[in-house]
Amino acid sequence: MKALIINCSPVKTGATAEIVNIISDELSDKYTIKSICIDDYKFSFCRGCRSCHNTAKCVMNDDINTIINEFEQADIIICVSPSYWADIPGQFKAFIDRCTPWCNTHRPHAALSSGKKGYAVALRTGSGMYECEKIIRSIEHFYGHMEIECCGSLGLFSVENKNDVRPRTAEIIDFCGKI
């Protein structure tokens, strides 16, 4: 089985990336792992033209199709997202917007193969879970429209940088045990 782990942050070496690395290492005995960073891909913002509502295809041709292919190849999808102003980063939101051709919000729509399981991990610098819960809801909402089964989540607060992740390793490993 294959697991796709997505760093939803534009920062390739920060706390989010550190969490992705821990999850990748922990799951590597059970799954073939592919880790990607949203910032490694180039794509435009959704134009809101709604052409995909009639054709199930986007009028733009960019790296969205490459990312969707990674989703298609995976059995397990884990989105790891930091909080940017109490929600997911803009780059990840732009990606979600561009997934409209694959969303079940209209007919016809393209679709991923069935049976995919999704997990959400949220982190924030502040001292409470509210923002993490909001991020998790955003990811789970996205999964729902992509018909990816939501199977679990983890929120980590008081994580400002990579050094704050190591003391939370046991929580992350415990979460991985449920995947």
Secondary structure (3-state) at 45: coil
* 108 preceded by a cis bond (ω within 30 of 0): yes
Cβ of 59: how many Cβ atoms within 10 Å? Answer: 10
**Domain that includes residue 107, residue range:** 2-176
Query: In whole angstroms, what is the distance from residue 40 CA to residue 10 CA?
Result: 8
Q: What is the pLDDT of residue 99?
A: 97
pLDDT in tens, 79-96: 999 999 999 999 999 999
DSSP 41: S
CATH number reported for the structural domain that contains residue 53 in this entry: 3.40.50.360
Confidence of residue 159 (pLDDT cuts 50, 70, 90): very high
Confidence of residue 117 (pLDDT cuts 50, 70, 90): very high
Average pLDDT over residues 33-37: 98
Contact status, residue 118 vs residue 148, Cβ threshold 8 Å: yes
The percentage of the chain sitting over the pLDDT mark of 70, rounded to a whole number, equals 100
Secondary structure (3-state) at 15: helix
The percentage of the chain sitting over the pLDDT mark of 90, rounded to a whole number, equals 99
Q: Please, what's the b/e burial string for 88-106 (b: 16 or more CB within 10 A of its CB; e: otherwise)?
A: bbebbbbbbbbbbbbbeee
Average pLDDT over residues 68-77: 98
Q: What is the mean pLDDT of the chain?
A: 97
Q: What is the pLDDT of residue 133?
A: 97
Count of the separate structural domains present in the chain: 1
Single out the residue of 78, 167, 172, 83 nearest to residue 123, CA to CA. 83
pLDDT in tens, 9-28: 999 999 999 999 999 999 99
Q: What is the pLDDT of residue 134?
A: 97
